[in-house]
Amino acid sequence: MSGSSRLFSPFSLRGVTFPNRIVVSPMQMYLAPDAVATDWHFQHLAKYAVGGAGCVFGEVLCVEPRGRNTHWDLGIWDDAQVPPLARIAAFLREAGAVPAAQIGHCGAKASRQRPFDGHGPLGPDDAARGEPPWTPLGPTDDPAAEGYLVPHALTAAEIATIVDQFAAGTRRIDAAGYDFLEVHAAHGYLIHSFYSPISNRRTDGYGGDRRGRMRLALEIAEAVRGNWPDDKPLSYRLSCVDGMEGGWTIEDTVALARELRARGVDTIDCSSRGVRGATSLANLEASRRPAVAGYQVPYAEHVRRETGIPTMAVGLILTPRQAERILEREQADLVLLAREALVDPHWALRAARELEPDAGWQRWPPSWAWWLAQRERTGIEYPDGWE
């Protein structure tokens, strides 16, 4: 195809080839009654694959009920949760995208309201309308944010059970037919809360120095990789910096990424922040500073350069030319869209038209391309007074 761009070049990890470098990032929708995917989730994800993305992630699948953010999160702790996910994975593949899943545990951030219901801890009013609170879990009994529920500090035996839950969830995701798996270890959720010195004050083998604080992340990586087929790639989403004094740093992330790679992790999804805040942008919002487009791309670039492991760039990647520059400068290997995909589910198809104008409508679905090319050939004339 003439005028080929980096954004639309294929990329391979293990036995999986991504048709282009555009990935729709996991985004929680908080619309899953009984933690089971519905037709809403099917249509929400299907349109990104039809819209040309090379890989489409579903939202985080929680490994146990206590690991959910809200009563409306998706889960992967029961075999009954598999069939609706399998339907989604099959369609994503049929539409030409790599079907991807994310697995995680929300830790001390669990047992809260949906963002559009307030985003605070669940309480009596929530219980009265059928959403009672539960006790969240964490490395210590420190709340995840001011006013949040006090978590139960996990024992070593309880940690082992959670590692087993990740393994079991991984097997279910494989049974559902997904080809790419990511562990959510960022944004103040359980794994991040263990490796961050801000939230982990333990003095046993899961705390103390950096090696102890990384232990849970590495044990989960081993458990997931051990239950995920060798020919399927594995990603880890990390908060590369805490953005707080005395917190986790980019050099800490480099050290963790090297250990993860040694355990079979194939790429690092480079996000940031989230500890001691309701969201990953909480400390930016508190500083009254706007987020800068591409503000997290330097983390992906640094980890890629220092470790040699492929990285995924996230964080206000808005335009096709911005995404193309990230790849041209070798700052990352894949680019992730989140809210921009919500704005324009056909972002990838529009990007093809912008970056590869000589290719015409070749990257669009043929049943669309025929009509659009015909309209383009015919041209459009606007009558007087048209606005």
CA nearest to 68, candidates 80, 58, 79, 59: 59
- C-alpha 338/C-alpha 173 separation (Å) is 22
Helix (H) or strand (E) holding 269: strand 267-271
Q: What angle do CA 102, 161, 247 make, to 5 degrees?
A: 60
191: amino acid identity, one letter? I
- C-alpha 83/C-alpha 63 separation (Å) is 16
State how far the alpha carbon of 67 is from the alpha carbons of 83, 165, 230, 383, in Å: 21, 11, 27, 58
Beta bridge partners of 102: 60, 182
- C-alpha 185/C-alpha 84 separation (Å) is 25
Residue 18 has φ and ψ, to the nearest 5°, of -85, 130
Contact yes or no for 18/10 (Cβ under 8 A) = yes
* Residues assigned a catalytic role: 189
State how far the alpha carbon of 200 is from the alpha carbons of 154, 161, 163, in Å: 11, 19, 18
